[in-house]
Structure 1
Amino acid sequence: METSSIVPDVIDTMPSNIMKVIYTSGCKADLGNELTPTQVKSPPNVDWPTESDQLYTLIMLDADSHDVNNDKLDRPDYPDHSGHQTLHWLVVNSSRTDPGQTVTGYMGSVPTQGTGYHRYVFLVYKHRHRIVVPVTDGGIKCRKGFNLREFVQFYALGDPVAANFYRAKFDDYVPVLKNRMLNKTRQVVRNPTQHSQAFYWIWEGYG
């Protein structure tokens, strides 16, 4: 993770555990391997070592959602990515016996054409007491501009105890995914709800 600049772009220290991230397509995240948006369209199964008296928060983010020159992940001059992140998944207060609360539902990789490889990072934080995080509507306004360090500091989560990541870039399936979502959006707009505008923003200008 250090050679791919996850440390220090996203986190400050390397966690001691590598979490398992296995998709229903049969592929898995493996410390920077390349996966396609097609392979990761559904939520994966995730697993990491747990303690019986602890709670855990799972975060998945795109570390390169604003970058356009990120094909070379070994270059040492990455800028600070703390404000260049998109939240893809957030589940809080899980334990050995409780799956926890999904604050922001899973969103697969939809990197914009021409933006190169994006690093999709999974992180797990351990905490003894429950944290209260407002549930989002899943819209882009609550995903874009996510700041991991600010979130971690606000909830006093400390350093992550497990992590993994993969890389993905645009493929021919990305427009298919976007069109499917836009078609759903049009159906929602015909019968407006309080979530219709947020639903639209998931895809408007996503990158």
Structure 2
Amino acid sequence: MKLLGAVLVSLMLLLPGARGNQDTVPCVFEPLRDNDQKFCRGDVEIIYPEMGDVSCSYIPKCQNFRQRLSLEWGEPRVRFPWARKDQKYVLVMVDPDSPNRAEPKFQFWRHWMVTDILGSDLSVGNVKGKVLTAYSRPKPPRYSGYHRYQFRIYEQPEHETIALSEEERVSLGTWDLKEFVEVFSLGQPVASTQFLTKNYED
């Protein structure tokens, strides 16, 4: 009788759909640790569809989240609840780990940059402003390990027009973020966060 039961269970597991939809298995978002966690400040939320807020966490591989992040989803909602209503802000998204964290010779790879964002919009997650760099999905190369995708929010100085040079517009990689911040007197970010992900095939 036990043998018959074992055979029936084995057959059930082989039948299509018998094991249920694995995409419905809950994913665990592991929080960042140590210095990676310390980068997160200001309660910034980075919200992607179906994942929700991924700030200060590793992107899990389950439910094809890494693949969809790299191939399907567009720009996230970025919400900074403490943004001042009439203040303008600059949002910068960069990968400091290109092509890998051990030898980041192409840092900071610019994935997104928007200026002239009103605080009233940013506080509710609407990134409306002047797009200097269109959003580029996170696509870490295979076998390059985890990459940090950092979001930095700066207060835009009053009456300051932020622009990229011709050279900067042509190349997204090997971008001197520090020099850019100094040229436009942006100072330290008023808020920052990041998530870590790796190639979805790894």
Gaps of 5+ in 2: 1-31, 61-65, 122-127
| Structure 1 CA distance for aligned equivalents of residues 167 and 120 of structure 2 | 26
- Structure with greater contact order relative to length (CA < 8 Å, sep ≥ 6): 1
CA deviation vs aligned residue, 1:133-173 (integer Å, no higher than 9, x gap): 1488997x42111122111111110010111111111114x
Question: Aligned residue pairs: how many?
Answer: 156
Decide which structure has greater helix share. Answer: 2
Say if 1:91 and 1:37 are closer, same or farther in 2 by CA, change over 3 A.
farther
Identity %: 24
Unaligned 5+ runs, structure 1: 8-13, 70-78, 175-207
- 2:145 and 2:199 in contact (8 A); partners too: yes
| Contact in 1 for aligned 2:94/2:111 (Cα 8 Å) | yes
Change beyond 3 A, Cα 1:27–1:112: same
User: CA distance change for structure 1 residues 2 and 24 in 2, over 3 Å: closer, same or farther?
Assistant: closer
| Residue 125, structure 1, aligned to residue 154, structure 2 | yes
1:82-128 Cα deviation digits (max 9, x unpaired): 96220000001111356210110001111110100000001100123
- 2:107 equivalent in structure 1: 84
Which amino acid letter does the alignment assign opposite residue 66 of structure 1?
P
Tell me how far apart the structure 1 counterparts of residues 33 and 175 of structure 2 sit (CA, whole Å): 21
Larger radius of gyration: 2
- 2:48 is equivalent to residue 19 of structure 1: no
Contact 1:91 1:104 in 2 (8 A): yes
CA contact (8 A) 1:29 1:164 kept: no
- Match for residue 3 of structure 1? 34
Q: Secondary structure at the match of 1:113?
A: coil
